[in-house]
Amino acid sequence: MKKKPWVKWSGRLGKTVLGCLLVSQVMTGFTLFGGSESKVEAAEPLVVSTWMWNPFVIEKDQDITLQHLMDQRINRVYLNIDLDYLAIDYSSFIRKAKAKGIEVQALGGAPNWVLPEHNKKMYEFIDWVKQYNNSVQPEERFTGIHLDVEPYVLTQWRQDSDAVIGLWMDTVSGFAEEVKADSDLTVGIDMPTWLDSIRVRDGYGGMTTLPEWLISRLDQVTLMAYFDNADNISQSVQDEINAADRVGVPVLVAVDTVNSGEVGGSFFNKGQVLMRNELAAVVGSLGDHPSFEGYSVHDWDSWMKLGQ
């Protein structure tokens, strides 16, 4: 992901059926997560999620934002933690979201959080979320922490990728251990789909891929399959989703609506209908994988600007 405001710190048949219904939704307005869901009672609902990097929407116009989320059938939001906003802003939004069946997870991260001189920012972020949850009512709490740390954009990666990979692994394992030490919050991360060739020690005397190592230490993973067609999206996640199947960790497959400047890498100029059709095809392609949980769209602001 690019150009985001970093946190300021001082046999699933049912899912295949749902994939077909996504196409129907585009054409007829069929509601997946509303009243018509009873038509596929045997199906397990897809997770549909998005990233909210700019939390100004929780300070004002909360009801309008929640209505827009429901219009897009979203049932999970990764909400950026920005200390310029009051805890009451978060608690009010989460309470209203949960009442509408929308789960809210705390979002934070920066590429340099893997570096020793900046790693403490991650622990401060975790501590803030825990303190917040302990200070509010159950219906106002975050259900998990979603970490976006992408160290491959750092200069240090180009200089010594092996060293940075080691720091990344330490960061992810430290993240999971710290969150789980005294909470039941779920832990998840964003991960690109091109890490398959990187081999690391598995901790048991053997070797594994970096994706499988990372996935096995988490409760959920979002795979950033940033392409604008179903074939490329589905093909790009094959190794990761197979690894997730093996270790029993649910994954979401994510697409982008931001103008990344990469040809074929975003739906920013493709429109909502095309994106939903391609996502329906992805669901149909991946729905038989036990680890496949749904999809995510990056990010909320850009998604709302997407034409039809």
Residue range 200-214, pLDDT digits in tens: 999 999 999 999 999
Cα 194 to Cα 183: distance, rounded to the nearest angstrom: 32
The rounded distance, in Å, linking the Cα atoms of 253 and 241 is: 9
- Residue 6 pLDDT > 70, yes or no? no
276 sits in the region (left: phi over 0; alpha: psi -120 to 50; else beta) called alpha
The band of 43, judged by pLDDT with boundaries at 50, 70 and 90, is low
What's residue 57's pLDDT?
Answer: 83
Where are the strands (E) in the chain, listed by range?
A: 47-52, 76-80, 103-108, 144-147, 186-192, 199-201, 207-209, 220-224, 251-256, 292-298
Percent of the chain with pLDDT over 90: 81
pLDDT band at 44 (very low <50, low <70, confident <90, very high): confident
Cross-strand pairs, 253: 223, 295
The answer to whether the beta carbons of residues 96 and 70 sit under 8 Å apart is no
236-266: pLDDT as tens digits: 999 999 999 999 999 999 999 999 999 999 9
CA pseudo-torsion sign 295, 300, 306, 308: positive
CATH superfamily, domain 13-305, is Glycosidases (3.20.20.80)
Q: Which residue type sits at 17?
A: V
Q: Where are the extended beta strands (E) located within 89-242?
A: 103-108, 144-147, 186-192, 199-201, 207-209, 220-224
**Minimal CA–CA distance to 93: which of 300, 307, 297?**
300
What pLDDT score was predicted for residue 104? 98
Closest CA to 187 of 202, 177, 196, 195: 177
Domain boundaries, the chain: 13-305
Mean pLDDT of 219-227: 98
Burial label for 87, CB within 10 Å (0-12, 13-18, 19+), is middle
Report which residue type is found at 81: I
221: buried, middle or exposed (CB in 10 Å: 19+, 13-18, 0-12)? buried
